[in-house]
Amino acid sequence: MTAAVFFGCTFIAFGPAISLFLFTIAREPLRVIFLIAGAFFWLVSLLLASLVWFISVQISNKESASQQKGLLIFGVVLSVLLQETFPAFHEVFKCFFCFFVLVSGLGFGFMSGAFSVVNILADSVGPGTVGIHGDSQHYFLSSAFMTMAIILLHMFWGVIFFDGCEKRRWFVVAAVVVSHLVVSCLTFQNPQYVSSLVPTYIIMLSMGIWAFYTAGGSLRNLKLCLTCKDKDFLLANHRPR
Amino acid sequence: MENNAEDVENSMEQQQANTAPEPGQQPQEPPATRARSRGGSGAGAADGGGGDGGGGNGTGPEQNGQPPTARPARVVDAEEEEDEEMTLKYGAKHVIMLFVPVTLCMVVVVATIKSVSFYTRNDGQRLIYTPFPEETDTVAQRAVNSILNATIMITVIIVMTLVLVLLYKYRCYKVIQGWLFLSSLLLLFFFSFIYLKEVFKTYNVAMDCITLAIVVWNFGVVGMICIHWKGPLRLQQAYLIMISALMALVFIKYLPEWTAWLILAVISVYDLLAVLCPKGPLRILVETAQERNEPIFPALIYSSTMVWLVNMADTDRPKRNSAEAGSVQQPTQESAVESPAPSSPSQDDGGFTSSWVSQQQHRLGPLQSTEETRREIQQMPSARPPVEDDDEERGVKLGLGDFIFYSMLVGKASATASGDWNTTLACFVAILIGLCLTLLLLAIFRKALPALPISIFFGLVFYFATDNLVRPFMDQLALHQFYI
């Protein structure tokens, strides 16, 4: 565990998110505010879920490890559901700009990723041996990859969820919630990283493609963008009214 | 160090007192400035920007001395919508102009706390204002001691504020100026020397006295020049951020834990009362300054742009006193901030005589920015000649006391929370959101509002909630590598 591990894992986890931030958000002050607002709402949902979990732990049998694990799983599911209710409040801001969905989804993702991985990164700078007690040696790396996937997923979910809300397509909304739950439940299989990371990435790619088409992208736009003829293709179809 | 701490405390206390009135004074800022700031600071800053924007700042009133031209044609919806959009963007720009320095200050404080153990080490020293120890046998005793400490501290702050109001009322400007000067001297030389010393100790860097003396001397002198006279804007902003961070670090080191949290809470309440109550000292200060139509002493207020002399014309910056008092070193009071920026010679002479200019010049330099976000912005009764509005030039101001208390909260969170980074992050986001909301309220109400309460309230709630509820949950999740 060295600075190399620290920097490597940090860039893996936050690289795409930070580059997204720098290229699309950093220049517009309003977007930065929405990013922070998204982070704030995620934090509030986490707080509520932790409160429920904490209370349930206090009234449960602390000795039983399986019960504790069960409660933890319950806590995870609850927090996922709570997280999905918060974007609904964003209806309020609909009137302003549509891109804020992307931004607040990224805010959600940033906060979620940060809370999951920052302490781990801080530990990775110090001395120690990973997996000395027989645990997996890829703890840091897998955490970093998982975090990256989660951050991008939050952003895609935000876009799709919002579009579903706007067009009143409830199956879309349900699909987002279900896929979030699936991804969280996949992590229950850690440390068998193959079975948790690979499906997560598959889900992330499919969500990404779905979000791309939802936001109005198409193969043509993609080609134009890649040949630098059409900037901001994702945002081009979202104009403030 | 004890003595020093005490001395520092003394000056800090004085500062505090000074700052307290500041908020009151803020409103006194030049109407033009205020109008602008009002507009600018909140989301609605329409007035400068293009006449009344959606926020309708412009229209206001007469009192703000808004240029009569600020009257948008509301008739057309599309135009209105676009105005709203512009207003929102303009307001967002000003919010970001405050987010960046606040974030920088917090980053400096957290980085120092995490690396230099001096500021988290309990050396057994206390400030004279917090004489009761917190290492007691029982929890009840500790609670009582911390309440007593907080009471003493807030009493000192109130007394200082009243002293400042009196000094201002009886026109003892020299005293106040000298006070501020001494405070910033202490901060720039002595505290930064200690900071450097501790950093060198932490990284085991050998440094000879001569080099150190040259470095500290240059740092201090340039700082004094930039803050009290003129200097490049970025340099001045950097110095203000640095001294806020230094002050916050001093508070983090010398205030025992429970006392610190209590003081934060009580100061927010005090800020609220002092600014909004009709008989609040700050409000009185502001009103006095308004009556006299005097300029205020340049306070240590962070400003994001240079102010034009034109703005200074109308107002009188009577409030300087408070603002200044507060700002220097004061970590205390939320530093009303305002000080509409004194003298910045900047671009435009506006026909001011050189004597007036030189009088202004010895006040703060380029601090000004036309808006003070210190919420003290009040309606200015005088009508002002329309000032050139230039959206880009208008800036925003925030008192150094705000910086100091925000950084103190985040620094304390990172020093004492066992959840470490999660708690720090949560407090950081909470404070930024509080600042955003405060600026929004400012744009809506368009009158002086205190800056501390909302942010500190959110910060405290998130600190205790994250440390006690979220941390165990996240620890368990990280242990099993569950993701939510």
ipTM: 0.87
Q: What digits encode the pLDDT tens for the residues B54-64?
A: 333 333 344 44
**Distance (Å) from the C-alpha of residue B197 to the closest C-alpha of chain A?**
25
What does the longest C-alpha to C-alpha distance in chain A come to? 63
Q: What digits encode the pLDDT tens for the residues B162-197?
A: 888 888 888 888 888 888 889 889 989 999 999 999
Count of domains for chain A: 1
Q: Which of B451, B460, B467 has the alpha carbon at shortest distance from B404?
A: B451
Q: What digits encode the pLDDT tens for the residues A4-33?
A: 889 999 999 999 999 988 988 888 888 888
**Distance (Å) from the C-alpha of residue A223 to the closest C-alpha of chain B?**
32
- Which residues of B carry out catalysis? 271, 402
Average pLDDT of span B129-146? 87
Query: Residue A240: its chain B contacts at CB < 8 A?
Result: 85
Rounded CA-CA distance A178/A236 in Å is: 29
Degrees to nearest 5, angle at CA B82 with B78 and B87: 145
Rounded CA-CA distance A17/A11 in Å is: 10
Reported as type and span, the H/E element at residue B92 is helix B77-115
Task: Please return the burial class of B314, using the count of CB atoms within 10 Å of its CB with bins 0-12, 13-18 and 19+.
Answer: buried
Rounded CA-CA distance B102/B400 in Å is: 10
| B98–chain A Cβ distance below 8 A for any pair | no
Judged by CB atoms closer than 8 Å, whether chains meet at A115 and B474 is answered as: yes
Rounded CA-CA distance B71/B79 in Å is: 12
What's the whole-number average pLDDT of chain B?
Answer: 72
Lowest mean pLDDT among B20-34, B157-171, B388-402: B20-34
Residue pair A90/B400 in contact (Cβ under 8 Å)? The answer is no
Q: What is the dihedral of CA B363, B368, B370, B375, to 10 degrees?
A: -80
Specify the pLDDT at position B297: 57
Tell me which residue in B473, B476, B482 faces A187 most closely, judged by beta carbons. B482
Token readout for A82 is 């709570």
Rounded CA-CA distance B176/A127 in Å is: 53
Q: Which of B351, B354, B282, B263 has the alpha carbon at shortest distance from B321?
A: B282
Judged by CB atoms closer than 8 Å, whether chains meet at A188 and B429 is answered as: no
Q: Which of A147, A136, A45 has the alpha carbon at shortest distance from B483?
A: A147
Judged by CB atoms closer than 8 Å, whether chains meet at B436 and A54 is answered as: no
Query: Residue A116: its chain B contacts at CB < 8 A?
Result: 474, 477-478, 483-484
Specify the pLDDT at position B411: 94
| B423–chain A Cβ distance below 8 A for any pair | no
Specify the pLDDT at position A19: 92
Tell me which residue in A29, A36, A191 faces B481 most closely, judged by beta carbons. A191
Average pLDDT of span B68-72? 48
The size of chain B, in residues, is: 484
DSSP H helices, B116-170, are 139-169
Tell me which residue in A33, A50, A184 faces B469 most closely, judged by beta carbons. A50
**Distance (Å) from the C-alpha of residue A6 to the closest C-alpha of chain B?**
15
- Residue whose pair of structure tokens reads 């935000």 in the numeric block: A158
Judged by CB atoms closer than 8 Å, whether chains meet at A76 and B482 is answered as: yes
**Distance (Å) from the C-alpha of residue B356 to the closest C-alpha of chain A?**
37
Average pLDDT of span B253-257? 89
Judged by CB atoms closer than 8 Å, whether chains meet at B432 and A36 is answered as: yes
Q: What digits encode the pLDDT tens for the residues B320-374?
A: 333 333 333 343 444 443 333 333 333 344 444 555 544 554 554 444 444 444 4
- At A172, the amino acid letter reads V
Judged by CB atoms closer than 8 Å, whether chains meet at A80 and B484 is answered as: yes
What is the extent of the structural domain holding A15?
A: 1-238
Specify the pLDDT at position A90: 59
Tell me which residue in A36, A188, A240 faces B433 most closely, judged by beta carbons. A36
Q: Could you tell me which residue, B420 or A201, shows the higher pLDDT?
A: A201
Judged by CB atoms closer than 8 Å, whether chains meet at A50 and B470 is answered as: yes
**Distance (Å) from the C-alpha of residue A212 to the closest C-alpha of chain B?**
23
Judged by CB atoms closer than 8 Å, whether chains meet at A53 and B88 is answered as: no
Q: Which of B406, B461, B439, B468 has the alpha carbon at shortest distance from B106?
A: B406
> In angstroms, how far is CA B331 from the centroid of its own chain?
8
